[in-house]
Amino acid sequence: MATKSAIEWTEMTWNPVSGCTKISQGCKNCYAARMALRLEAMGSPRYANGFQVTTHEDLIDTPKKWRKPRTIFVNSMSDLFHDQISDSFIKRVFETMRDCPQHTFQVLTKRSERLAKLGSSLDWPPNVWMGVSVERADVMRRIADLVKVPAKVRFLSCEPLIGPLENIPLNGIHWVIVGGESGPGARPMKSSWAESIQLQCREAGVPFFFKQWGGVRKHKTGRTLNGSIFNEMPPSPNVGIWNHELVQIGRVAHT
Ligand code: SF4
């Protein structure tokens, strides 16, 4: 499935896999789980298995049909490195990304151990950005796994940020996203947590993207941090005008 995304740091989502299982505190209020169950109840054939891990063979080549360059978030409805997804299926997803140099692909996982294990057997073309979720200090170890893979852009998604992150090892990291949790049961993010990460990124020279404060009604809390919008993106030779504009906005706001 491929759809235009409301996520602030991407354009499209591509879901050759759906379904997942919760693995850490960041998963507590998983949006994908809620959405999958809603789609199942609505009778969507793609979600006949609800939130069980399901691979969609017919979607594996979908990005090849898009000529216009796009920034694509891979598997917003799952985790590509889930242990129920075969090595060969993951490799085929990477082959599609390699065969679509016109696009930029953003892959995000909480299964960093499997990423590190499989990393050397995957293709890493420059249009694949690889990230891990770091929602709380107890999962900061995922960063050590991420830096083992030779992705051109390695990023951290600190969302939903549910605790402070001090002394983040930012060496080898090219982008950091921070966001508070949104939707029913959203856990609050302290401003000091977000400010500390922004400061650590500035000191390390790492682009910082502040996605949202979140909350039950996220449109009311906005995405301004200390009076600025932080839309910084990693420089990449392979991004379209859409990202270029964001890089410029980020520079204007923070130079
Ligand atoms: S890893 Fe992601 S998709 Fe899977 S349960 Fe956790 S938040 Fe949801």
Q: Whose CA is nearest to atom 5 of ligand 1?
A: 22
Q: Residue 4 corresponds to which tokens in the numbers above?
A: 């235009």
Cα(65)–Cα(201) distance, rounded to whole angstroms? 37
| pLDDT, average across residues 41-57 | 97
Tell me whether strands 104-109 and 71-74 are parallel, antiparallel or unpaired. Answer: parallel
Minimum-distance ligand 1 atom for the alpha carbon of 110: 1
Enter the DSSP assignment of 85.
S
32 lines ligand 1 (CB under 6 A): yes
The whole-angstrom separation of Cα 120 and Cα 14 is 24
> Of 86-90, 158-162, 216-220, which gets the smallest average pLDDT?
216-220
Q: Is the CB of 20 within 6 Å of ligand 1?
A: yes
In this structure, which residue's CA is closest to atom 3 in ligand 1?
Answer: 78
Start-end of H helices in the chain: 31-41, 87-98, 112-118, 142-146, 191-204, 218-221, 241-254
Tell me how far the alpha carbon of residue 37 lies from the centroid of ligand 1, in angstroms. Answer: 14
What separation in Å is there between the alpha carbon of 22 and the centre of ligand 1? 6
pLDDT on residue 1: 52
DSSP E strand stretches across the chain: 2-4, 12-14, 17-18, 54-55, 71-74, 104-109, 128-133, 153-158, 175-179, 208-212, 224-225, 228-229
Q: How confident is the model at residue 253 (pLDDT cuts 50, 70, 90)?
A: very low
Q: Round the average pLDDT of the chain to a whole number and report it.
A: 91
Does any ligand 1 atom lie closer than 6 A to the CB of residue 142? no
Give the pLDDT score at 8: 77
Task: Pick 3 or 197 by higher pLDDT.
Answer: 197
Whether the per-residue pLDDT at 127 is higher than 90: the answer is yes
Spatial contact of 178 and 159, defined as CB atoms under 8 Å apart:
yes
- CB contact set of 178 (below 8 Å; sequence gap of 6+): 158, 159, 161, 194, 197, 198, 208, 209, 210, 211
Over the stretch 68-111, which tens digit does the pLDDT of each residue have?
999 999 999 999 999 999 999 999 999 999 999 999 999 999 99
Amino acid at 116: A
Does residue 27 line the site of ligand 1, with CB under 6 A?
Answer: yes
User: Residue ranges of the domains in the chain?
Assistant: 2-22+29-246
Residue % of the chain over a pLDDT of 70: 91
Q: Alpha helix (H) ranges present in 86-236?
A: 87-98, 112-118, 142-146, 191-204, 218-221
Residue 251 scores a pLDDT above 50: no
Does ligand 1 have an atom closer than 6 angstroms to the CB of 147? no
Instruction: Specify the ligand 1 atom closest to the Cα of 78.
Output: 3
Q: Is 22 in the pocket of ligand 1 (CB under 6 A)?
A: yes
Query: So what's the pLDDT on residue 238?
Result: 55
